[in-house]
Amino acid sequence: MKQFLRFQWWRSIPSHGVALAAGIALAMAFAPSPTQFTRLILAPPRQGPVSEFHRALQTVMIQMDAGMCITPSANADRDFARAMIPHHQGAVEMAKLELLYGNDQHLRRLAQGMVVEQSQEIALMRSILASSSTMPGTSVNP
């Protein structure tokens, strides 16, 4: 039995060595080159409207994602509305950013419509939440 275990021990060392070598080779193949790191470090920060737009867009998306993380209740209708309000508000804010920074007339027209329609939907969902129609056992038909 000792001879069998000794054989298995010696047999596993080469297989582990091959796996280690393969892992190192893959890591080296997919690792960014040193010039990529240098470009990232030496690259000048973006300035101007593009940078302002992206910073504002990130802020809106973070706020939207945080607002959509609600504590579940026993009422699916209420939870739906509570999660959709920040989702729609995020869409309104993003559309306003398009109106502020965008140039494409089709996208600007779409953004204008989104501001109006999604704002109306937010108001509707808030009024439904404020009413007693979302209490358990009652209808939510507007």
SS (H, E, C) 9-60: HHHHHHHHHHHHHHHHHHHHHHCCCHHHHHHHHHCCCCCCHHHHHHHHHHHH
Provide, rounded to the nearest whole percent, the portion of the chain with pLDDT above 70: 59
pTM of the entire structure? 0.59
From the list 115, 68, 110, the residue with the least C-alpha distance to 93 is 115
Superfamily, domain 45-131: Ferritin, core subunit, four-helix bundle (1.20.1260.10)
pLDDT, one tens digit per residue, over 102-137 is 999 999 999 999 999 999 999 999 999 999 654 555
**Residue located via tokens 């056992």:** 137
Asked if residue 99 lies in contact with residue 81, where contact means CB atoms within 8 angstroms, the answer is no
